[in-house]
Structure 1
Amino acid sequence: METPAARLPESSPTGLAVSSDYGWFEANDELTEGFCFTWIAGLTPEQVVQRLGGRRLRTTGWRAEWESFPGRRGGETVMAVAGMPGWSLVVEDIGVLALRDDLLERLSARTTVVTHSRNVELDSRFAVIKNGRLQVAFDPYDPGDRTGSRPDALLADMRAAGFTPDDQDSDNADATETAFALTERLTGVPMTAASLHSASYLVTAVYDAGTAAWERENPNPGLQPAN
C-alpha cells in the first residue's frame, strides 16, 4: 500500500518553501559544479540500494571519501543514500540517476520519486515519477516546457515555489533554488546544509552504461574491471 508521503499533490502546496530559502546552496560551494538529488518515499536506504541493483561499498559521513570511492569497479557510478523523515535521499556528485528513466521507474514501484539534477553546463532536469510512470518532467531553466503523463499536475506548487510555468525559456537565475523549494513542497522535508552534513550515507556502486562508455575513452588503470 502506498504511504501518504508518496502521493503526488494535486494542487495545494505541501509546504511554504520558496527559492530564497535555498540561497545557501550556491553560497556553500558544495556540489555546485554538478549534482543529483533523488528522493524516494517510504523506502529505507537498504531498500533503495537493492532496487538500484547496487553493490554496497561502505557507510560514511558527508562526502567523507566520495572523491576516491574505494572499491568502485569499471563502469560503475557511485551513489550515496541517506535516510530522511519518510524518505530516502540519493546524493550524487555530478550524477546520472535523474537521467536514468529505467532506474527511476524501478525505484518508484508502489511509491513516488522526486529527482533534480544539474551539470557544469547548467543542463538541468526535475522530474516526478510515480509507480513506474513519469508524471512530470521539465528543465528548471525552462519550466514552461513540461512532459509526462500529467504535465500540469504541479502548477500550483511550481508557482508557489517561485517558478513561472506559463513562460517558455524563462532563463530564471534562481532556477536551481526554486527547484529545491519545489522539492521541499512535495516531500515535506527541508534540505539544509546541516541535514546533509549530519546524515549517515550508505555508499553504493551502480553499473551505468554511459559511465562505462566514457571510461572506454578515458581508461582508469586503477579500477577493477566490471563483472
Structure 2
Amino acid sequence: MIATPDDYSWFSRERFPELADAYCFTYVRGLTPEELVTRLGVRVEDCSRMTLDELTKTAYSSYDGKNLFFGAVAVGDWVLIVEALGGLGITEEITMPLSAGTRLVSHFYLEVKGMDYFYWIEDGKIRFEFAYQEGYSHWIEDGKIQFMFPHHESYSEEMPDELAETLERIDSPIYPIAEPHEGPAFLLAERLTGITLTPQLLEESTYLCGVVSRPR
C-alpha cells in the first residue's frame, strides 16, 4: 500500500497540542540514543528518561532560546530525536558532525512563523533540502536552488532518485508540497529511513532527554 499525506493526519494540535505547531523530528542511522547524546557532547549521566508528555512540558518550561532540549529513542537501526520548540535537526553546526559516517534526515515546523524545513544529509553533505517560509519555497541539491514556488509545475531532472517518485506523487492540488508539515515531510522521511512514524511510537516511547547549547 502506497502511503499518502492523509496517513499522517493524526499528527494534529488536537492530539499533540504541545508538539504539532512547533516540532523537529530527526532520524540518525546506526546510533543508539546513548551514542547520539555522546556525539552531541552531552554526558549520558546528565540525561533523564521521560515520556513524551514530560518531554514537551519540560521543553516549554525550560525554553530560553539559548539551549536545545531534546529526547532520543531507538527505532530499529535508527535513533529518533524529538523536539518541541527545538531546532537541533536543522542547525547545520550540529547536524553536519552528527551525520558523520551515516545518514541524517530531519524535518521542522514552526507554525507561528510559517516555517518548514526538511534535510537529508549523508556523511556531512546535504543531499536534499526543502525550505518554506511565508510563501517562499525552494529545494536545494548540492548547494544549488533548483526552483521556487509558486512556479512548480515540474521537478528538475536532477531530483535525487530516492525522492523523485514520492515528490511527484505528493506535488498536487490535493497534497501541496508547500505544506510539508501536513504530510509530505513525513512521507519523505519515511522514504529515506523506512520508518513509519505513528502516534503510538511517539506516545508510548521513553526518551533519553538532554540539553545541547545552541551554536552562536
Q: In 2, distance between residues paired with 1:39 and 1:23?
A: 20
Q: Does 1:79 align with 2:65?
A: no
TM-score by length of 1: 0.73
Q: Does 1:127 align with 2:119?
A: yes
Q: In 1, distance between residues paired with 2:177 and 2:78?
A: 31
Q: Does 1:24 align with 2:10?
A: yes
Relative contact order, CA 8 A, sep 6+: which one is greater? 1
Q: In 1, distance between residues paired with 2:115 and 2:137?
A: 16
Q: In 2, distance between residues paired with 1:171 and 1:152?
A: 15
**What root-mean-square deviation, in Å, do the aligned CA atoms of Structure 1 and Structure 2 show?**
2.8
State how many pairs are aligned. 189
Distance verdict in 2 for CA 1:54–1:17, change over 3 Å:
farther
Distance verdict in 2 for CA 1:175–1:62, change over 3 Å:
closer
Q: Does 1:156 align with 2:142?
A: no
Letter in 2 for 1:33: D
Q: In 1, distance between residues paired with 2:55 and 2:119?
A: 28
1:62/1:200 contact within 8 Å kept: yes
1:199: how far off? 1.0
Per-residue Cα deviation, 1:23-75 (whole angstroms, up to 9, x for no partner) = 11125233122100000011111111111112432011213254236xx7973
Q: In 1, distance between residues paired with 2:110 and 2:73?
A: 22
1:140/1:179 contact within 8 Å kept: no
Which position in structure 2 is the counterpart of 1:198?
A: 204
Unaligned runs of 5+ in 2: 144-157
TM-score by length of 2: 0.77
Among 138, 143, 150, the residue aligned to 1:145 = 138
Q: Does 1:60 align with 2:50?
A: yes
Distance verdict in 2 for CA 1:21–1:143, change over 3 Å:
farther
Unaligned runs of 5+ in 1: 1-14, 211-227
Q: Does 1:108 align with 2:99?
A: yes
Among 172, 176, 181, the residue aligned to 2:182 = 176
Distance verdict in 2 for CA 1:16–1:66, change over 3 Å:
same
